[in-house]
Amino acid sequence: MVAQELERELLALCQDLGIFIPGHFEVSSGLHSDLYIDKELIFGNPELFDRFCGYQADFLLDPGGRDTSIDVVVGPETGGSRIAENVARLLSQKTQRQVVAVAARKDGQGGFFLEAEDLERVRCRNIAVTEDVLTTGRSAAMTMNLCRDKGANVATLQAWFRRGQRTQSVAGVRANVLCHREFPLHEAPCAQCLRRIPLSQKPTARQLSPSPGQLILAY
């Protein structure tokens, strides 16, 4: 399937499942968006999750479907690491060799770190980095630099969606994105702020019943 056909198919699936939700959202970078991407509807649907990750695994093969020797798939916690685990599993099946998944863990101070055993897993290896949504690319860049510090070769960056145009490439690596639909970002205060439209809650936040006044960030 050519890239344009694949993208149309995935975007149609997302529309049908209500993954794109209009509103007034603040994303984790502090920027505002008119559209929320409900990624949990993908994570929570095993068939769809495998479909997205399977296409990513296919992109890690050469055009003839042959092995390109990706050793490790690394993703920043939490969405990227969940994708990395599934992509590594599917790539292992396609190549008939073990491809390892590694999670870049949040350090609680806005950064990431790799567990000691994971540092050794990425050392001098060919790696792919996975993300769910690229906004500023900060999480992906920190993950890539952690791996490079151990001599890893960052061969590719894969993502499901991209917000805005700031992440055509991240840390010197071109971002390969499954769905290229435009998801504009706005500095705050945005046009909706100026019209005094309150921030929307993401669906999972409504289910969790946050305390009054709690700010909900849409990732």
Per the rule left: phi > 0, alpha: psi between -120 and 50, beta: everything else, 210 is beta
Kindly report the number of other CB atoms within 10 A of residue 99's CB atom.
23
Whether this model's pTM surpasses 0.95: no
- What gap in Å lies between CA 185 and CA 166, rounded to an integer? 10
Spans of the chain, pLDDT less than 70: 1-2, 63-67, 164-167, 204-219
Domain regions of the chain by residue span: 3-208
Q: What are 167-219's pLDDT values in tens digits?
A: 677 888 988 999 877 788 899 999 999 999 999 988 764 443 333 333 333 33
3-state helix, strand, coil in the chain (%, to 5): 35, 30, 35
Q: Is 145 helix (H, G, I), strand (E, B) or coil?
A: helix
What CATH fold (topology level) applies to the domain 3-208? Answer: Rossmann fold (3.40.50)
Q: How far apart are CA 94 and CA 106, in angstroms?
A: 30
pLDDT of 62 reads 75
